[in-house]
Amino acid sequence: MSSHDQPSLKGREVQRTFDKVTDYYDRMNRLMTLGRHAAWCRDVAASAGVPPGGSLLDIATGTGVIALAALERYPGSAVFAVDFSERMLAEAANKPGASAVTWQHADANDLPFDDESFDAVTHGYLLRNVDDVERVLEEQHRVLKPGGRVVILETCPPRGLLRYPVSLGVRVMIPLLGQMVARDRESYAYLQRSTLGFMTPQEVVAILRRVGFVSMAWKKRFFGTHMIISARKR
């Protein structure tokens, strides 16, 4: 048995957290981003550039927002969506139009797909929740076809003049909203820490380059607290 057959301690904690917040996840994402989350997910799907009749894999799909946006953007394409929270997948599979997506339980460290299976890979808020970002991106590189794109939606620590007020706002607002909306301050305190503690776009791009990706680009959103990064497999 390899070390990746079982989730790590952090993996189990993340799994428990996301199982707990499933019922409130979409509402909290809307509130925490002042309603911008769905638009960013559509932006991620649009940036994936799936060819007609192509295929897309959405990892850490959660409640399926990116996967369903991709299905709408690329009718006739094959959309696969994986997550390691069974509760999240069940929630996603109940949404309108969800029957056209293939939902599957999987670990981002060890994807159950052949090499060069997909034209595009997308994910939202995956990397800040894994132990080994490089391994996870290597797996994505492996399952992408040559020329295929990866598109990443992530949080990033704010920089510049807004750094301190925005960081303070995140520290206060996320746990407070978690308490008010989900009656779960603890889970959202974890999400607040992982939001502020994640890498800069430059750090993620450096890992993408090491793994073998090219044509990296990124844009920041929401006072510099979110980023959308894209890259291509050579």
Look at strands 102-105 and 55-59 and give their pairing.
unpaired
Both structure tokens of 139: 């797996």
According to the annotation, is 131 in a ligand binding site? Answer: no
In sequence order, which residues have a C-beta less than 8 Å from that of residue 60 and are 6 or more positions away? Answer: 82, 83, 84, 108, 123, 124, 125, 126, 129
- Under DSSP, the state recorded for 50 is P
Q: Which of 40, 117, 45 is nearest to 74 (CA)?
A: 45
According to the annotation, is 108 in a ligand binding site? Answer: yes
According to the annotation, is 200 in a ligand binding site? Answer: no
According to the annotation, is 90 in a ligand binding site? Answer: no
Q: Give, in degrees to the nearest 5, the angle at Cα 154 between 157 and 135.
A: 105
> What three-state secondary structure class fits 43?
helix
Exposed / middle / buried, residue 75 (Cβ in 10 Å: 0-12, 13-18, 19+): exposed
Q: How far is CA 220 from the centre of its chain?
A: 15
Q: How far is Cα 139 from Cα 111, in angstroms, rounded to an integer?
A: 7
> What three-state secondary structure class fits 86?
helix
Residue by residue, DSSP assigns 109-128 as TB-SS-TT-EEEEEEES-GG
Binding residue ranges for S-adenosyl-L-methionine: 63, 83, 107-108
Binding residue ranges: 63, 83, 107-108
